[in-house]
C-alpha cells in the first residue's frame, strides 16, 4: 500500500506544476481522484491476495 501511495504522490508531484497552468480543474480532479482510488484499490486487492 505504501509503495502505491508513494508512486501516486510522485506522479502528482511531477505533473502538479503543469496542472496549475491549465484551466481543466474539474476534469483533472476527477482523473486524479479516480487514479488514486484505482491505485489504492489495486494495492489493497493484491495485499489481500498475498496473505
Name the residue range of residue 6's domain: 2-50
Distance CA 38, CA 12 (A): 14
Burial tier of 19 (Cβ tally within 10 Å: 0-12, 13-18, 19+): middle
Judge whether 12 and 32 are in contact, CB under 8 Å.
yes
- Give tens-digit pLDDT for 14-26: 777 776 666 666 7
Give, for all 51 residues of the chain, the pLDDT tens digit. Answer: 688 888 888 888 877 777 666 666 677 778 888 988 998 888 888 877 666
- Tally of structural domains, the chain: 1
Write down the pLDDT at residue 51.
62
DSSP string, 26-51: HHHHHHHHHHHHHHHHHHHHHHHHH-
Amino acid at each position: 500500500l505504501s509503495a502505491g501511495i508513494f508512486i501516486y504522490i510522485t506522479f502528482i508531484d511531477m505533473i502538479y506544476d503543469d496542472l496549475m497552468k491549465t484551466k481543466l480543474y474539474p476534469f483533472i480532479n476527477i482523473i486524479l481522484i479516480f487514479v488514486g482510488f484505482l491505485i489504492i484499490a489495486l494495492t489493497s486487492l493484491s495485499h489481500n491476495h498475498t496473505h
